[in-house]
A and B are shown apart, each in its own frame.
Chain A
Amino acid sequence: MPSVHLLGTGTPMCAGCGGLEALHEFYDQFGAKSVFVNAAGCMTLLAAYPFTPFRGSWLYTAMASAPAGAQGVRDALDILAATGRMPPEDDLDVVVLTGDGAACGIGLSATSGAIERGLDFVYLCYDNEGYGNTGQQYSGATPHGARTATSLGPHGFPGEKKPLFDIWVAHRPVYVATVIGAEPLDLARKVERMKGLKGPRLIIALSPCPTGWDFDPRETVQIGQLAVKTGIWPLKEYVDGKVTHTKVPRERLPIEEYLKRQGRFAHLFAPQRDDASIRGIQARVDAYWESASGD
């Protein structure tokens, strides 16, 4: 693990931001010889004129088309290198940085296009399971049962979290992984592995969000660890056509341990316990690991 931290401090992210935690770890490992191509979301505020926490470069695009921005930058760098107009040492890695709203919804078509074209880029999605920057309305990544600003019913969000990992994998890119800031070794190992590859490389970082999920900022790491230990956030990677789980919780903690720490699931426990919903969420986790047991 690098001992030098590359991302500057004093950003406008919320205290305890799980997305920023993952970005710190990613950036330390990946290095600053990169240009981040950003879509509208919480992290758009990282680079606010005239300051930036990045040692490398940055381009804000729009909510829907960061992967297309990466295509333009990558192609231009390749053209400059191929025509001798840029020394090889000036080349950059292109990193798309978006939230789950852009990744699962408005920007999914642009991502699909970039993967299908075999674009040599990295996509880092910080998944806080809702439109966090606008006050946590439900997104394509919101999990079943979570209360959001737009799912205030007695049982929370009635839909299902979009299987973004599977959708990305279905495109057969070079590399796909899930990570979480609370497991920095796993994250660093994946970044290191992906760094040596060429082509579309995509990472989803589950990003515990104190403001959106309603928990104390100091609990970000614990909640992240619980996401892994309860099995609701499987850590895995897809490489060489195969999905491998990188940290299997052999004895999974009950999902309740994860849910009860977050205000967004409080309606499952009070004023009275909603056993059916809790059992339903547990059943989803169990079914996932049942189907994954062949790995």
Chain B
Amino acid sequence: MTRQLLTGNGAAAWGARLAEADYVPAFPITPQTEIIEALGGWIDRGEMGGRMVTLESEHSMITAAGAAAATGVRVFSATSSQGLLYAMEMIYTVAGWRAPFVLVNVSRGLSAPITLEPDHNDVLAARDSGCLQIHCSTCQEVLDSVLIAYRLAEHPRVRLPAIVNLDGFYLSFTREPVEIPGVAAVRGFLPPFDAENVRFRASVPESQAVAVLSGGAYSYFRYETHLAALEALRVYDAVAQEFAARFGRHHPAVDAYRCDDAEYVLVMIGSFATKARDAVGRLREAGWQVGLLRPRLLRPFPAQAIRAALVGRRAVAVIDQNLSVGKGGILHAELASALYGVADAPPILASFIGGLGGRDIAPEEFFEIVRVLRAASDSGETPPPRLLFTADELCETRKLQAIAHVERHELGNGP
């Protein structure tokens, strides 16, 4: 075991290296590229086994990843944003193949307008695909989650691709101290991939991913996939416990921070949850009984653990770093479905949207969110969804527009 300063991308690459991934189909995209550069460098210098191939698109990359996993080798891949969406047909397809591999997604806001900094609309577009999803908030978690994700994906009762998500810039390019476990310790936790009888061999011909010609057969396979994903809930808890026993770091499916006596709870995923964590400390100092609930596992959805953590609270704020246009926060709707009709569920479940395209969420905004929760709790009325945006930001945007207008006007009068 060594301790190093690693970026989130570096931690993801180390996860793949320690998992001894056989095959890395790749395609560059900001802010993910550092991962495949690191892996390519190690493979080229002989520091890591395996083979890396750059495909001509993410669609092909995920096809190759699924096909190699279906042939029986351990596969790692990584993408971001537009790349994940370009691959989306195959993201659904390889889940249907029940091809287990790990894909790291480095979250980045979706076009248009095109941007580089993070939010979660990219990875949440894969929400219903059948790929499992683990969301990280630190660089250490990224490395650990890649290892846990392999155990989960390759479990014979699961056999599904798993996406490990980290936020672009905030994690991808941020250095944090990361413990890198030793190869032998990782081998003890993660044995080689055993494809059992689902693979291609000349002596045992196999048809995979064949067409079905009826709704009955289609439903059979879709339900099987769903049940396998639900099975991953139980498997996750066991794997996380084992990981904790071996490496001393516990990564529960749902991370509850200072929730025990909390009247008000913030719900967030990803690296921005560390901002909320910091705000919880400040709010506690100011006398607020507030906590933070951070689901790490989003698929399968740990509804039971979320319910257990939230019953009896006065009010809950779901802060979504995503926007389902025309609907609102995606996690808010998921939380509502987990809590509706549950005895002693929090009477207020408020929705806030923030952090789109990497926009900061400032400490004072967390204070404002908790004030809104208390007012709602006192009045018994759920507040309307709030899109976080300040007067200053509007002013800055207007200023840019004004400059553009002036420029155009001056150019129009120029030579």
CA distance A35 to B70 in the complex (A): 12
CA distance A79 to B57 in the complex (A): 22
12 additional A-B pairs beyond A37-B67, A73-B70, A79-B68, beta carbons within 8 Å, are A61-B67, A64-B59, A68-B56, A69-B67, A72-B65, A72-B68, A75-B23, A75-B68, A76-B69, A76-B200, A79-B23, A110-B63
Per-residue A-contact encoding for B195-217, CB less than 8 Å = 1, 0 else: 00000111101111111110001
CB of A44 closer than 8 Å to a CB of B: yes
CB of B346 closer than 8 Å to a CB of A: no
CB of A211 closer than 8 Å to a CB of B: no
Asked if residues A56 and B68 are in contact (CB atoms below 8 Å), the reply is: no
Residues of B within 8 A of A50 (CB): 210
Q: How large is the interface on B (under 10, 10 to 19, 20 to 34, 35 or more residues)?
A: 35 or more
CA distance A113 to B60 in the complex (A): 9
Q: Measured between C-beta atoms, what is the minimum distance from A157 to chain B in Å?
A: 28
Asked if residues B205 and A113 are in contact (CB atoms below 8 Å), the reply is: no
Q: Contacts A92-B200, A110-B60 given: A71-B55 contact, CB under 8 Å?
A: yes
Partner of A76, one of B63, B72, B202, B203: B72
Nearest-CB residue, chain A, relative to B97 = A59
Asked if residues A92 and B93 are in contact (CB atoms below 8 Å), the reply is: no
CA distance A79 to B51 in the complex (A): 8
A residues contacting the other copy or chain, number (CB 8 A)? 47
Asked if residues A52 and B61 are in contact (CB atoms below 8 Å), the reply is: no
Per-residue B-contact encoding for A35-63, CB less than 8 Å = 1, 0 else: 10100000011011110101111111110
Residues of A within 8 A of B23 (CB): 72, 75-76, 79
Could you pull out 30 A-B pairs where Cβ atoms are within 8 angstroms? A32-B205, A45-B211, A47-B207, A47-B210, A48-B212, A50-B210, A52-B207, A54-B205, A57-B200, A57-B205, A57-B206, A58-B206, A59-B208, A61-B93, A61-B209, A68-B61, A72-B65, A72-B71, A75-B51, A75-B53, A76-B68, A76-B69, A76-B73, A79-B50, A83-B22, A91-B202, A109-B56, A110-B57, A110-B59, A113-B57
Nearest-CB residue, chain A, relative to B50 = A79
CA distance A92 to B71 in the complex (A): 11
Residues of B within 8 A of A89 (CB): 202-203
Partner of B68, one of A60, A62, A67, A73: A73
Residues of A within 8 A of B57 (CB): 109-110, 113
